[in-house]
A and B are shown apart, each in its own frame.
With several copies, the nearest count.
Chain A
């Protein structure tokens, strides 16, 4: 385990993240241009999709079926457990509980990629169809949690305006769904998968140096920015309290273990189960925040952004992934 941890800590990904964190802690002016951040995330998601699509063309439906089912299951269970823990034990308001739960029900693409790279480095590559599972896990959790929030606050019943017109905010659920399904990350991932699937190995060949050769380097740069973003939130840790700190590290272990178990049960390899565990354990900080902000404006953004970005993300990158891997290996050994 210690050796696994050491390898993980000395990877360019972890080091870049730590460098970013460190730069913020010593209050350096270093910052990546916003457009570079956006460009890198577009590149990473599209590359992930393309590669996944090319590999998907080799996979059979049968292989995919059970993993897909357990992934969707995770998308329903994790927002509920997160909500219950926050509301009952943490005593957060309904809006705050639902808002944070939406983040933990969804998934962080970078955590996914980091887990994928990690198991590959150790010689246990995950299944080629994992990016497909990633797309399945992205949105259900957000909707489940926002649904809980809506039902609990009965917020939908807000009054029409003096002149009889409905307030702009009261958007039909269809609209929210459309927004999440057509979100940038969805289009790039699903679109990439489709394009990769259609072009196949042969079409992929000429663009491989760009989308595969550069991938790890681009990811390193991206994690520098993630470190900077997480570092900027460290100061908020004081105001968010000890409970959230514990939540942000224990919840991932619970969700991650569940993910590993279900993945193993569904027939995934050690690498695949590890990655599914990391997905379940991760909290979204791309898709969830705007959806929550617009639908549950009463929820305090500091809470969910800090938990997802400054606690759970680094926890998973540094400690979580090796733990899920260890667990997956134990399970595989025992089966």
Chain B
């Protein structure tokens, strides 16, 4: 199959941010996303679904530009106060225009 290279942006962090992060990625131009519940631990201690809720993992397949823009927003407005991390990985999709 003919595939197109795109970027998978993965954001992991406090579940409370769900709606806010969805708004962010949609405003930045993502055409879809997938959310999974998870738990985890990082520099801001172990978080396992207590009163403030579990962590969540938000994944979206986007163009490298959108991914870069979102990384910028995350690092400026979210990393300082919230328990959030983000990383990019390369993926290949078919029907590439669906995602950009």
Contacts and interface: CB of A to CB of B under 8 A. Distances in A.
B23 to A, nearest CB: 5
Given A290-B16, A294-B16, A232 B23 contact: no
A305 interface: yes
A169 interface: yes
Given A168-B20, A168-B27, A290 B52 contact: yes
A167 B77 contact: yes
Interface in A276-296: 285-286, 289-290, 293-294
A229 B24 contact: no
A294 to B, nearest CB: 6
Interface in A305-328: 305, 309
Given A229-B50, A293-B52, A305-B52, A169 B82 contact: no
Interface string B16-51: 100010011001000000000000000000000111
Interface in B41-87: 49-54, 73, 77, 81-82
Nearest to B37: A34
Given A169-B20, A293-B16, A34 B49 contact: yes
Contacts of B27: 165, 168
A297 interface: yes
A147 interface: no
A93 to B, nearest CB: 13
A289 B77 contact: no
B55 to A, nearest CB: 13
Contacts of A229: 50-51
A161 to B, nearest CB: 8
Contact of A297 (B23, B24, B73, B82): B82
A128 interface: no
Contacts of A168: 20, 23-24, 27, 77
A331 to B, nearest CB: 35
Contacts of A297: 81-82
Interface of B: 14, 16, 20, 23-24, 27, 49-54, 73, 77, 81-82
Given A165-B27, A294-B16, A309-B51, 6 more contacts: A168-B20, A168-B27, A286-B51, A290-B16, A305-B50, A305-B52
19 contacts: A34-B49, A34-B54, A165-B27, A168-B20, A168-B23, A168-B27, A169-B20, A229-B50, A232-B50, A286-B51, A290-B16, A290-B53, A293-B16, A293-B52, A294-B16, A294-B20, A297-B81, A297-B82, A309-B51
Identify the 5 closest CB pairs spanning chains A and B, nearest first: A297-B81, A168-B23, A168-B20, A168-B24, A289-B51
